[in-house]
Amino acid sequence: MNKTAEKPSALVWKTLHADMNNVYDEKNRIFIDAAFDMDETWERLLDEREFKECDFAKAYARDFAHGTAGHNRLMLIFKLCEILDVYEEAVGRLIRMADDGKLG
């Protein structure tokens, strides 16, 4: 029987995903599954209204950001969206580096 070896990232990914599922309860599993789905982004968990709110916060921070009503809320949403985008990019890069043998 000739089995094809799994990529290092796949082994780490499966192990981490299983561990996260053991730690969090059922209501959080949708978020864990989204975090471990490399074909999707965190934004897919949002409904249309929530997505538009994030999109507006990004536009506000980029184009206005001058202390209107709700300024702190919009800036917080913008910052959290940016952090999630950076985490997604970092995870993607780590996976590629592991698969290319550039880690460790």
pLDDT exceeds cutoff 80 at 5: no
Q: What is the pLDDT of residues 6-53, one digit of tens each?
A: 787 788 778 888 888 888 887 777 777 777 777 778 888 899 999 999
Could you tell me if residue 104 is inside a domain?
no
Could you tell me if residue 3 is inside a domain?
no
Could you tell me if residue 34 is inside a domain?
yes
For the chain, the domain total comes to 1
Which residues constitute the domain of residue 37? 8-99
Could you tell me if residue 1 is inside a domain?
no
φ, ψ of residue 74 in degrees (nearest 5): -65, -40
Could you tell me if residue 94 is inside a domain?
yes
Q: What is the pLDDT of residues 45-104, one digit of tens each?
A: 899 999 999 999 999 999 998 878 899 999 999 999 999 999 888 888 888 888 888 876
pLDDT exceeds cutoff 50 at 1: no
Could you tell me if residue 32 is inside a domain?
yes
Could you tell me if residue 69 is inside a domain?
yes
Could you tell me if residue 80 is inside a domain?
yes
